[in-house]
Amino acid sequence: MKHIIREVCSIYLIDVLLVFFLLLADGFLLQEELWERQRRKLLMVSLLLLLSLLVSGRLGIQILKEKCAGLLRTAALAEPWQKSEPVPREQWNARYERWRRIREAEEARMASEADALREDIPTEAEVESYSLSDFAVTDIIPEAALRQLGSDVFFSAAEIDEETEARITGSSYVENGDISIGQLRYLHVLHADICGAVHLGELICNEAVAEDMLYVFRELYEARYPIEQMRLVDDFAADDVWSATENNTSCFNYRLTTGGHRLSYHALGLAIDINPRYNPYVIYGDEGIRYCVPEEALPYADRDAAYPYKIAAGDLCCRLFRERGFRWGGDWTGHPDYMHFSKTEFAEES
């Protein structure tokens, strides 16, 4: 609006100044008693300028009216939240409905991407028969293979073979006086991710809990309880923090307790961390959270919020492990370890 007023005022100002200077010149000529003909010409020019002033004034008023009308039309078309007056509830509801449709479209896109992951899996018509050797750890197991082979063949516990021993020696396993290779077992299990795709997983645990692990993960699989991935911690250089950051579920790793100086129950294959990125190990101080592992999991220290892969007290994962004599780290006071389950008399280790 200010620039419109300046535009009109400038028209008036120019005309007024011209008339002012011409009237001064006219008075000067009259005082000098110049020729009558010259005075008449000057008066004629002055009258013409006055007429121009009137015309330009009317033109300026018309411009001002048109500009104001344009602004009013623009304001009428503006979005509700650009107006200063209160917005009716119906308009806010319409805005929410528009964002809801956008969110649903995004969820549909994510589901489509998950379906695309299965496009490269052979169909039953393309594969005459499946065998367990067709699949590697982390592979998606097609429904056709599950129907043909059954799920039981994917759940197994075996002694550590030479290939696996070579894979873990010097990494998650070192020669020690606490546990030997012969006391460990290598497990294959099935697990479903958050999208429902079934993967082949692996873990190493103590032979004393091998049957417990198979039982729990078989039940979790049947219920399609989401677990993102299950790989040996050796795939992450035996670095539990790295493994946890990648939300990798793992069990055996010969190491000390987190931030401590005692042997962890992970070192004995008696403890397991489930979906660790979303279920962190948290230590509280006087002013709130003092320590969180992994650091990227800090937003998930809020256990009242809802998010994927969250372990909650009383959910299926907790119930199954407790049935088999495990304790949940989420029950520990002052330093809950929401990812952690261990089968030992004194389980407050990490």
Predicted TM-score of the model (pTM): 0.64
pLDDT at position 103 is 66
Choice among 8-12, 15-19, 82-86 with the minimum mean pLDDT:
82-86
Beta carbons of 146 and 122 less than 8 angstroms apart: no
The H or E element containing residue 192 is: strand 184-192
For the chain, what is the mean pLDDT? 81
In tens, the pLDDT along 165-224 reads 999 999 999 999 999 999 999 999 999 999 999 999 999 999 999 999 999 999 999 999
Phi, psi of 343 (to 5 degrees): -115, 95
Estimate to the nearest angstrom the gap between the alpha carbon of 78 and the chain centroid: 32
Residue 183 neighbours by CB under 8 Å, 6+ apart = 206, 207, 269
pLDDT band of 35, cuts 50, 70, 90: very low
Burial of 300 (0-12, 13-18, 19+ CB in 10 A): buried
How many angstroms separate the most distant Cα atoms in the chain?
131
Estimate to the nearest angstrom the gap between the alpha carbon of 212 and the chain centroid: 34
In tens, the pLDDT along 113-151 reads 777 666 656 555 555 589 989 999 999 999 999 999 999
pLDDT band of 76, cuts 50, 70, 90: very low
Beta carbons of 254 and 233 less than 8 angstroms apart: no
Beta carbons of 45 and 22 less than 8 angstroms apart: yes
